Amino acid sequence: MTPKQPFTFKLLSASGIEPTDEILEVLSSREELMSLSQEAHDACIIPKDSGGISLSERAALASRMCNLNSEHQLANYYAGMIPGGDPALQMADPQLKMPDSPRINCMLKHTDLVTSHPKDTIASDIQNLEANGFNTADIVRLSELIAFVNYTIRVVKGVRLMEGIL
């Protein structure tokens, strides 16, 4: 028996999808896109220049968005990237009360809104981030992070559904 190939887009394994021969064969037709998805992941979650949003905060927000989408295994994967005892870990759980920090509070509200109801986002939501100390580059970084994780969650859900019919 040959050992199973891992997924190029590691988030698929992290979400609990089995790399069966059937699913790997379908994904192999889009190998380059899987590899680019992983590159985008690294740029959003573990960038070289994290700007004003720390790596722990990025992992915590990603985990939170996965929890909001009932992708708990993937949420745990992201939470596992946060060093033990780091207060950012609290942000991963949407059930927990928002912290007192206005900056974090604003960041969490924005993340929840854009994840769950993107169509309801309005100009004042961006002004609110600015009022809470986010500079332009950090607003764009936060937007890419939220948008990318929402992309990933749907790739995971779609591939899992496809696995069910192969």
Partner 1 sequence: MINPITQFTKVIPFWKPRVDPVILTSATEDQLNAMKVTPSDTGVGAYVLVLAHDPETLKARTPLFNGIMYSHGGLSRHETELGAVATSIYNRCIYCAAVHASRYNQLTKTEEVIESVFTDSSYESLTERQKAIFVFATKLSSHPCSATETEMKHLIDSGLEKTEILDLILVASLFGWANRLMHILGDPIDTPDAED
CA–CA separation, 153 vs 162, rounded Å? 14
Q: Which two tokens stand for residue 93?
A: 């759980």
Taking CB under 8 A as the rule, does residue 48 contact partner 1?
Answer: yes
Taking CB under 8 A as the rule, does residue 118 contact partner 1?
Answer: yes
Taking CB under 8 A as the rule, does residue 128 contact partner 1?
Answer: no
Q: Smallest distance from the beta carbon of 155 to partner 1, in angstroms?
A: 5
5, 101, 105, 116: which one binds partner 1 (CB under 8 A): 116
CA angle centred on 75, ends 74 and 81, rounded to 5°: 95
Q: Smallest distance from the beta carbon of 82 to partner 1, in angstroms?
A: 20
CA–CA separation, 81 vs 31, rounded Å? 26
Alpha carbon distances (Å) from 91 to 97, 122, 141: 9, 23, 18
Q: Smallest distance from the beta carbon of 91 to partner 1, in angstroms?
A: 19
CA–CA separation, 128 vs 134, rounded Å? 9
Number of residues engaging partner 1 in binding (CB under 8 A): 54
- Interactions with partner 1, residue window 72-101 (CB under 8 A): none
User: Closest by alpha carbon to 116, among 47, 57, 70, 56?
Assistant: 70
Q: Which residues bind partner 1 (CB under 8 A)?
A: 26-27, 29-30, 32-33, 36-37, 39-40, 42-44, 47-49, 51, 68-70, 114-119, 121, 123, 125-126, 136-137, 139-141, 143-144, 146-148, 150-155, 157-159, 161-162, 164-166
